[in-house]
Structure 1
Amino acid sequence: MISFPILRSLSVKNYGLFPPSVDGTFVASFQPGPNAIVGVNGSGKTTLINICLRCLTGPYNLPSSTSESELGQIRARVIQMPRYDRQLFARRVADGASEATATLLVSFGDRQVEIERRLSDLSLISYSIDGETQDGLVPDSKKPYEDEGYQRQIAECLEVASFFDVTIILRFLVFMLEDRRALVWDPTAQRQIFRVLLLPADRATEYASAQQDVISADSAVRNTSTLITRHEGQVATAKKRARNIADAEAERRVLSAEADVLRENVETAARVRIDADNERHAARLDRLKAAEVRESLVRELERIKMESLSVLLGPSQETVRYIVGHLLAEQKCLVCGTDPSPAAQKIDEWVRTSCCPVCGSKQEVREQVVPLTEAHRIRIQRLESELIYAEKQIADAEARIAGALARFEKADNEYNALESKRVGLDARIVAVLKRIPTERAAIGSQENDVDALRRILANERRRLTKAEDRFRLVVAESVKRVQSLQDEIAESFQGYLQVFLKETAELVYQTVKDRVGQGGASFEFPAFHLTMTGGAVAGQTMRDNPDEVSQSQAEFVDLAFRMALMSIAGEGGPASLVVDAPEASLDFLFAERAGQQLAKFSKALPENRVVITSYLPSHHLLTSFFKSIRTERERRRRIVDLIRDAAPNAAVRADRAKYENFLASIISNRSQ
């Protein structure tokens, strides 16, 4: 049994289209029986019922809920709406609905659910089931949680297998909006409706899964078959065009062998060039390292010599120490500017032998400085030896660099010459290949491809057959279930439709053969068809599409079918029906009958609710719709008055009194 949603109330906060009442919230309450949302065009009637729908579905749609594609061909999953579509309510108000929220109170059987969403993007704020609240937002954040938990629990409330099935029920049964599809004339939609409504949840899931496997396997078979046909055509064309090519083939083979040898030579030259280049880079690195060592040694020698000067000259000879130190370090005389100075080498020798660095005289050795000076001399000798070795390493590295550079240049020249020859040879091969049909060149490869594809196709056909057998079993269950209820569905349909239509009309059940993919096997599906009398023909005739009846007849035939399906599938449980602008194509008499048909469903069970919108083209529909509601007060309680409660547009500002008086006459029954 399906637990259809029972709409109880909708509360809207901070949304410019619906200004708040005294307590700061716009509230639309829906009573058992008939309910109406009335207002002028553009006042927000459709917006209000769309908010009800989106509170339930959130930012998710069926893959083809508003398209002309077959519902039976879509994957059984909902898809998230694009960002622009999620802002459908935000675009209707100046502030983008930045602070606007909507809260829907709805029940499923004995379970009560409250859902709160943001109207700016339809994100879930919170929801509760039987008073247990689950936040929809990450704490201290505007980022919504994933909706999977909510969707799973709502599916459990409806007693269906998935949120996809929930959305099927809402879009094709509960809500009849502007983009509604006519179920009576849509056999693929009927299949989905029967699957969701009449099969147990686990079998409904198996039906959807098996159907998708058939569609997937069928697509794979068709795609592979197309590839095989294409390859076979290419092979046939190649064989037809492949004539007089023996000489070209022989020349191609010779050139290809030569190209193979040349390619090996090119690769060898490339390796030699790479080795020479690597050796050159290694020698350069060694030279840099040796230069760094030499530089370090030179700086250390200069430092020791400067320390020796400090010992020999003493602190009182600062100027002399600076001049002599510059001679030792830079070989330049600061007095006359000679560079290099011939005295530099002699002064260096005096310093080494602890002589006076100015005149070269042997100084009297003082006990306290001899160890330091002797240590310097020994250190200088060791550093000079290391410096000589560093200079030798630099020279060796430069010799290696020169040798590696010569080898690299030789290898590079050889490589370029071979590469140029290879390019010329490739050009000759291309010229020969142009004399050979390209199809012939690829015949062997394509024939191998065809063989491989045929093996793949055989596997895919086995997979398709297995998927079809699995699907056929669960379709047979659906057929059996619909057959067992066909009389009840047809009787319920006729009971609702005869209120509206004076022509004789019946639902005729029969199985129809159809495929679920574009190829593969056909299956026996359950389906209802409409037969109806007409003025121009004798007796009842089959009406196979909505163009064979009037627009108003099509609307209410389909409405009666929905009413019948909900009545049977609910198994005595209540349901809600929301219909947008049912009187759009009706004259006054049909409007009165439409109100009676809608009222009949609203009274079929004590908790049934029917919510319609009306732009007040006449009083006939609303008067007959509320005929069973005896008191003016009770009728007023069932009307959401957007003339009074919505933000006034130009039409209301200009003629508010006329609209209010007309509505008052309907509520008070003065219009009859």
Structure 2
Amino acid sequence: MIAFPLIERVSVHHYTLYPGRDGSGRLDLHLGAGPWLVLGVNGLGKSTLLLLLRYLLAGPVRTRSAGFAGERDDLQAVDNRFFAVRVAGGADHATAKIVVRFGARILTVERTLGTLALISASISDDKTSRTLEAEDEYRNLITKLMGVVQFEDVVRVLDHLVFYLEGRQSLIWDLAAQFELFRALLTPNLSANLRQLEGQIVSADSAARNLNATLYKITQRRDREASKRITADDTRARLAAAQGELDKHIKDELALTEQLEAADTLRGDYNLQRKRGEKLVDDAAQAYEKLKFEVLRQAFAGLEPTDQYLYLKLLSEQICIACNQPAPDAAAELQKRHDHGCCVVCGNARKFDDKVENIGDALKAKASEAFSLLERRRVELEDFQRQYVKANDTVHALHNKISAVRLASEERQGLIRKLRKNLPAEENLALSREEERIRTLRGEVLSFRHEREAAEQSIEDLLVQLSTAVEEVRERLECAFHQKAAPFFAESTRLVYAPRTAKIGQGGRSFDFPAFEVEMTSGATLGQFVRRTPDQVSLSQREYLDIIFRMVLLDVLGGGKGSLVIDGPEGSLDAVFAGRAGDLFARFSAAGQTNVVLACNIVEGGFIPHALSNYGKSDRPRRVINLLEQAMPTQALRTLRPLYFQKVTEILEREPG
């Protein structure tokens, strides 16, 4: 089971950026469920506080950028003096502690802020408690608590789902990040295997390309050296001719092999299109059959269900259920009456009251449209099938050509061995060494290609399981996204399952990777324009589509339990959408085991009142972490302190509207 962290308490000791209300050097936050606002002005440490939460849980590491990365490590170290350099004195005595809930279990983590080293971590529930101090043990512990199998996946979840900080690591707009998150959360038992196979494919592909480059250089050097040794001697001339023919055959084989790889990749792509086409035909056929049945059912709308069944059986199977004999003529007559708009039972023209709408015609129109779509899908499938057959023929033809070239190469090699026996021993030895090195390199190239192909076959099977797992929650994700996005956006917005097709290496096969996209329909231009990329939407739309997607994943995959931490949610909003954004966070955090931590400036407008709309005036100050009171004041705060405090009071007392 996947469990996301619910942040309940945070305490910071002796970090000079947060001296506390009484100057004791303690900042203690008790969060729990609901929305929490970290309020302050620029320079008070709002972003630093949210980053502190993240680094307390993950330590001084991050994951590499999303994408196919070969066999290099996923975890990368960051500067462990990250917080020390932000204050005078290097935070040598500063510590911080965070308490988070994973279901019924409570995790407490304490680190130094000078080096982010782990001081201790403890896990407890109603019955047991355990403490540990080693970083490796802590990483294993939080990995198990979250329900994933690798600590790298813990960091991915924190950076791409739980925390949306000033760096703004995207998720809905980063299809590669979606793939890595889905494999970690939906198929945790396969995540490590998928990552390992991905690394093997990228590394084998890169090694094969590098060896090919080296092989080319060595062959060119050998040819130059061989040309210097060739004399007018008839044996050397024949050897040179034979070697030239062999080199041509080898070059032809390499060229044909590259063509074969390209053709095989193209065949795989066409096969993928063919399978998609078959699914589209099946979907269209089902839709058409459903509408066709509805059209027929409307024709017998006045009959009892039993009588309807008798006539439908006769029409669809041309068998009389009464005598169980074929009745094609009777079925044809019924179909003729139905097609002419007559009553299929008596043959008389059907009459409708002016106030009664004949939905049969509408259904026929829909059935006609569905049939047209079905026909188009069938034509597309036939085209995909033709392309696949053509590509398959090309692959077989290239295999035959390669076999013929290899046979010719073997004949030339036999002749070369025979001629070399007549050369001086030292010259024959030098040439043999070069040939041996070339043969070794060619063998290594083929070995890497076979390794890549084997890994590709294995990863395809695992990707099918991952895609199945994503499709099992697809409808719930799309529905939840609509429920959250509809009240916020003025445009029609929907989440669409749109697997991306990509290659893992520069060569090789293409695969389908599960992914979601957003479709936003705008009426700003003539007609309806569908926007799907981040460049086609505004900054606030781009950010809040990503935020809503994270909310949906926390709800659906985490059972509505966990924290969402966002820096600057008010920054890109106008006056109208500020209130809508506040309502969005208020609704999301209304559940009993969910909270949002929002760091924002002291801003006018509806964002703060709407975010705290579930609380009365007397309760709102308790939902605010007011850094005006607890952080080291800036010069602006020292000068304008009364104005800032008055403004905070006014904002918290303002009713949403």
Q: Same fold (TM over 0.5)?
A: yes
Offset, 1:662: 1.0
Change in 2 beyond 3 A, CA 1:105/1:208: same
Amino acid in the other structure paired with 1:218: D
Alignment partner of 1:654 out of 621, 633, 639 = 639
2:588 pairs with 1:640: no
SS at match of 1:151: helix
> 2-side partners of 1:614 and 1:240: how far apart?
75
Alignment partner of 1:79 out of 66, 75, 81 = 75
2:479 pairs with 1:491: yes
Q: Which residue of 1 aligns with 2:520?
A: 532
Instruction: Indicate if the aligned counterparts of 2:7 and 2:100 stay in contact, CA closer than 8 A.
Output: yes
Change in 2 beyond 3 A, CA 1:537/1:567: farther
Instruction: Indicate if the aligned counterparts of 2:64 and 2:76 stay in contact, CA closer than 8 A.
Output: no
Q: Which residue of 1 aligns with 2:302?
A: none
Change in 2 beyond 3 A, CA 1:443/1:562: farther
Q: Which residue of 1 aligns with 2:206?
A: 219
Q: Which residue of 2 aligns with 1:132?
A: 129
For 1:319-334, list aligned pairs within 5 A: none
2:600 pairs with 1:614: yes
SS at match of 1:112: strand
Offset, 1:204: 2.1
> Deviation per CA, 1:523-561, whole angstroms, max 9, x where unpaired?
111111222112125335252x31111111100111111
Instruction: Indicate if the aligned counterparts of 1:12 and 1:101 stay in contact, CA closer than 8 A.
Output: yes
Q: Which residue of 2 aligns with 1:166?
A: 154
Q: Which residue of 2 aligns with 1:7?
A: 7
> 1-side partners of 2:550 and 2:41: how far apart?
28
After TM superposition, the runs of 4+ consecutive aligned structure 1 residues lying more than 4 A away are: 21-24, 74-78, 236-246, 440-445
Change in 2 beyond 3 A, CA 1:241/1:561: farther
Change in 2 beyond 3 A, CA 1:542/1:620: closer
Instruction: Indicate if the aligned counterparts of 1:174 and 1:578 stay in contact, CA closer than 8 A.
Output: yes
> 1-side partners of 2:121 and 2:232: how far apart?
78
Instruction: Indicate if the aligned counterparts of 1:184 and 1:190 stay in contact, CA closer than 8 A.
Output: yes
Q: Which residue of 2 aligns with 1:195?
A: 183
Amino acid in the other structure paired with 1:34: P
> Deviation per CA, 1:178-237, whole angstroms, max 9, x where unpaired?
1122222211111101111211x3222222222222222222222222322333344455
For 1:21-420, list aligned pairs within 5 A: 21-22=21-22, 25-64=26-65, 70-73=66-69, 77-79=73-75, 81-82=77-78, 85-130=79-124, 132-136=129-133, 145=134, 147-199=135-187, 201-236=188-223
Q: Which residue of 2 aligns with 1:328?
A: none
Instruction: Indicate if the aligned counterparts of 2:554 and 2:562 stay in contact, CA closer than 8 A.
Output: yes
2:450 pairs with 1:462: yes
Instruction: Indicate if the aligned counterparts of 2:163 and 2:565 stay in contact, CA closer than 8 A.
Output: yes
Alignment partner of 1:509 out of 491, 494, 497 = 497
Amino acid in the other structure paired with 2:447: N
Change in 2 beyond 3 A, CA 1:491/1:233: farther
Instruction: Indicate if the aligned counterparts of 1:222 and 1:519 stay in contact, CA closer than 8 A.
Output: no
Change in 2 beyond 3 A, CA 1:441/1:558: farther
Alignment partner of 2:579 out of 574, 584, 592 = 592
Amino acid in the other structure paired with 1:39: G
For the aligned residue pairs, the C-alpha RMSD in angstroms reads 2.5
Offset, 1:91: 1.1
SS at match of 1:538: coil
Change in 2 beyond 3 A, CA 1:244/1:148: same
> 2-side partners of 1:74 and 1:583: how far apart?
39
Instruction: Indicate if the aligned counterparts of 1:72 and 1:192 stay in contact, CA closer than 8 A.
Output: no
Q: Which residue of 2 aligns with 1:519?
A: 507
Across the two proteins, how many residue pairs are aligned to each other? 460
SS at match of 2:182: helix
> 1-side partners of 2:71 and 2:602: how far apart?
41
> 2-side partners of 1:38 and 1:72: how far apart?
39
Amino acid in the other structure paired with 2:654: N
> 2-side partners of 1:530 and 1:569: how far apart?
19
> 2-side partners of 1:563 and 1:573: how far apart?
9
> Deviation per CA, 1:55-95, whole angstroms, max 9, x where unpaired?
0001111123xxxxx4342658553525xx21121111111
Change in 2 beyond 3 A, CA 1:244/1:565: same
> 2-side partners of 1:37 and 1:236: how far apart?
72
Instruction: Indicate if the aligned counterparts of 1:500 and 1:556 stay in contact, CA closer than 8 A.
Output: no
Instruction: Indicate if the aligned counterparts of 1:86 and 1:121 stay in contact, CA closer than 8 A.
Output: yes
Q: Is there any run of 5+ residues in structure 2 with no aligned partner, and where?
A: 237-427
2:564 pairs with 1:577: yes
SS at match of 2:589: helix
> 2-side partners of 1:484 and 1:600: how far apart?
26
Change in 2 beyond 3 A, CA 1:637/1:31: farther
Change in 2 beyond 3 A, CA 1:155/1:81: same
Amino acid in the other structure paired with 2:46: K
> Deviation per CA, 1:87-140, whole angstroms, max 9, x where unpaired?
12111111110100000011111110111000001000011100735352xxxx
Change in 2 beyond 3 A, CA 1:112/1:447: same
> 1-side partners of 2:647 and 2:72: how far apart?
47
Amino acid in the other structure paired with 1:31: G
> 1-side partners of 2:525 and 2:47: how far apart?
38
> 1-side partners of 2:46 and 2:177: how far apart?
27
Q: Which residue of 1 aligns with 2:275?
A: none
For 1:470-481, list aligned pairs within 5 A: 470-481=458-469
Percent identity, aligned pairs only, is 33
Instruction: Indicate if the aligned counterparts of 2:476 and 2:556 stay in contact, CA closer than 8 A.
Output: yes
> Deviation per CA, 1:431-474, whole angstroms, max 9, x where unpaired?
xxxxxxxxx99865443322111111222222111111111111
For 1:415-430, list aligned pairs within 5 A: none
> Deviation per CA, 1:281-320, whole angstroms, max 9, x where unpaired?
xxxxxxxxxxxxxxxxxxxxxxxxxxxxxxxxxxxxxxxx
Change in 2 beyond 3 A, CA 1:90/1:152: same
> Deviation per CA, 1:230-286, whole angstroms, max 9, x where unpaired?
33344455556777799xx9xxxxxxxxxxxxxxxxxxxxxxxxxxxxxxxxxxxxx
Change in 2 beyond 3 A, CA 1:78/1:632: farther
Change in 2 beyond 3 A, CA 1:133/1:484: closer
Q: Which residue of 1 aligns with 2:530?
A: 541
> 1-side partners of 2:520 and 2:643: how far apart?
42
Q: Is there any run of 5+ residues in structure 1 with no aligned partner, and where?
A: 65-69, 137-144, 250-439
> 2-side partners of 1:78 and 1:454: how far apart?
32
> 2-side partners of 1:31 and 1:134: how far apart?
23
> 2-side partners of 1:101 and 1:4: how far apart?
24
> 1-side partners of 2:556 and 2:217: how far apart?
52
Change in 2 beyond 3 A, CA 1:458/1:14: same
Offset, 1:495: 1.7
> 1-side partners of 2:565 and 2:88: how far apart?
28
For 1:550-561, list aligned pairs within 5 A: 550-561=538-549
SS at match of 2:483: helix
Change in 2 beyond 3 A, CA 1:581/1:443: farther
Instruction: Indicate if the aligned counterparts of 1:14 and 1:100 stay in contact, CA closer than 8 A.
Output: yes
Q: Please give the TM-score of this superposition, normalised by the length of structure 2.
A: 0.66
